[in-house]
Structure 1
Amino acid sequence: MKKTKGQIEAEISEAIIKFEKEYMGRGPLEAKTYIVDDLVLVRLKGVLTKAEYQLANPVDIANGRTLIKQMRIALLEKGRPLLEAVVESITNQKTISLHTDISTRTGEKVVLFTLDSPPKLE
């Protein structure tokens, strides 16, 4: 059964929130997914912990932001197979690549999946 673009986007947002809670230990305050052709962009708000915000303060430690980004990227890389499998099962398309970045100022994170072709929509 084919799904609408909105249904796929909502399912991916829910799956990413679940992944963040179960795998990263804390979920985002908000998640929104956008499908554009063969790209799936997930925008997460409020992903940093209070401790990470403290570490990101450049007055306290010069490399705090770098440490946060390195740790978060390493954790995501370990969970990459899980994330790719979830997106593939929802979109019925193979994941070609995954890219991510996090803002230590705003606590916003983006995850971009490239699919082998656009999802088949209703």
Structure 2
Amino acid sequence: MSADPPITASTHGDVLTAISDGMVALLKEFYGRGPTRAKSYFQDDLVVCLLRGGFSVVEKTLLEGGRGAAVIQQRMEFQDLMRDRFEAVITAATGRDVIGFMSGNQQDPDLMCEVFVLAPTDLLDDDVSPTEPTGPD
């Protein structure tokens, strides 16, 4: 059985497009509107997707009313719930499993950042699985 072919320069752009388009589509599906811009990066065991725009009318109203912390908290909760769907986009685009996910948001400028760590990675010891608990029992 042969290993998957490495991602080449000609397909790297396709992978980045699939990541950006997939993330925007998911956010549009669940928010009713998607980000206005997206840019993705994929290098070695790391994928980063930056998204801009897409605050809902409710979120804009909260922001204008000084409730920005509520908007950020709501988005963080949502992103946590969407983890499996986000990871599915990355796995489909890269052909690799996601073993780590981190998310961040800011209001001005309105940016969302999704970070994914892919397997295999040399960041983890070979004998430690990310799903196995570590430390004392």
The two structures have a TM-score, normalised by structure 2, of 0.74
> Aligned residue pairs: how many?
114
Q: Which is bigger in relative contact order (C-alpha 8 A, separation at least 6)?
A: 1
Indicate conservation of the 8 Å contact 2:27/2:35, yes or no: yes
Greater gyration radius? 2
Indicate conservation of the 8 Å contact 2:102/2:114, yes or no: yes
Compute the RMSD of aligned alpha carbons: 1.8
Structure 1 vs Structure 2: percent identity of aligned residues? 27
Shift of 1:47: 2.4
Q: C-alpha separation between the residues in 1 aligned to 2:45 and 2:30?
A: 26
Residue identity in the other structure for 2:40: T
User: Which blocks of at least 5 consecutive residues in structure 1 are unaligned?
Assistant: none
Indicate conservation of the 8 Å contact 2:99/2:119, yes or no: yes
Shift of 1:50: 4.2
Q: Helix, strand or coil for the counterpart of 1:106? A: coil
CA offsets 1:6-42 (integer angstroms, 9 cap, x no match): 1101111110011011123220001111112211010
The two structures have a TM-score, normalised by structure 1, of 0.83
Task: Specify the alignment match of 1:10 in structure 2.
Answer: 17
Distance 1:97 1:50, change over 3 A: same
- Aligned mate of 1:46, from 29, 53, 58: 53
Q: C-alpha separation between the residues in 1 aligned to 2:120 and 2:12?
A: 14
Q: C-alpha separation between the residues in 2 aligned to 1:7 and 1:17?
A: 15
User: Which blocks of at least 5 consecutive residues in structure 2 are unaligned?
Assistant: 122-137
